[in-house]
Structure 1
Amino acid sequence: MLIHPWDAPRDDAEWQAWLGVHDFGQLVVNGLDGEPPHVQPLHFAYDAERGEAVTHLARPNPMWPALLAAPEVVLSVVDDYAYVPGPWQADPDGPSEHGVPTSFYAAVQLRCRARPVDDPAEKAALLNRQVGHFQPEGGSARVAVGEVPYGRMLSGIRGLRLEVTGVRAKFKYAGTRSAQVQDRIAAGLARRGGPGDTAAREHLLRRRGA
């Protein structure tokens, strides 16, 4: 992923805060013997203090052999994206039809060292961390070994701890455009109101001067 200086996060806190609420991504694992990579969409819980993300996969998932053979993986998350028409980006002193269309998006790629979790008690603790992240208000029984309703299901999954060893983050939101052009883009996003437009507009305005 190409990251220009004007698209880079201001600091770790920026991408960590974003990742804390964007918790669905794709786990990418190198394939075996020249096969293409495995890509698994999944929910995960990221813990900035521990420097890891936790998730789990079904035991029959075909990516397990590849993951065990090469535990260096990438967890990729992309969201808050929007298409920006060319005229919105045109220079103020030029024809609007000469504007260059582009895409806005936020992306974080975590390079991780994967560690499978098979111990039943560790799996239960991992799952409770995930549920606690997604359901902080509660409402579900805790996972406990040998106890209903989830204890008997533990054997059907494997937990996965992803130790973060590197981060690439990007916030691509008109970072090199003039204030006048940024205002035009922000107005266009507000007026259009499509999926992702509100979040993209908020990033654009938040990152002015970054």
Structure 2
Amino acid sequence: MEPRVDLTALEHVTPSPALRSWVEAAVAEAEAVESAASHDSAPGATPSAAATSRPAPPRRRRSRRPLALAGALACLVVVVLAAALLLSGGDGGGAPSVPQVAPVALRSARAPAPAVRGDGLLAASIDGVAFPAWASWRATGERSDRVEGREVRTVFYANRGGDRVGYAIVGGDALPFGGRYVRWRGIPMWVYELGDATAVMWLRDGRTCIVAGRGVGTDTLLALAGADTRPA
């Protein structure tokens, strides 16, 4: 289940490890509160034994509960945003944004595909973070670029159906994050809609990874990203 807490406001905040802990804890708490509220208000919900053993509270008190839940969620968002600004210094440190970098993964290759190392990885990396050798997607080429002073290396892949994606790794500290937040098999990721293309961003060993494609479903991009979570 995707959280209802909107993290888009954190678009320009650098995700330090401390900040990520704040965000993940806040989202988990929001999901727990929302789940409890949904269960209590669901049609046909069965009250617990403890609840049936004591008199029902007055109608006025029950009517205030949605307001209390809404207030709790609003406070939670405020706490997350305040922590973000406090822990990051209030800006993205001059780093490029994901929408600035993602188009690189949609360009053409400039060099042949890197060789397969034999351990499920390719002989191409940035800051020690290597590209994957996916079973169903064959590496077809690569390129290197600089975006706002950051090194970006991209490997391109294609499947048997002719679909094509680019996988970019950005050198240096993690980029500011935003987009639509999801958790794919427990992994925090951010989805970006870029015109006719879609990109998914996540972190590996503190480095920003982006997989993007045109005409490739979001679930496919998330699955590719989720399949590449091994330590570098």
Q: Could you tell me the TM-score, scaled by structure 2's length?
A: 0.22
Which structure's relative contact order is higher, taking Cα pairs within 8 Å and 6+ residues apart? 1
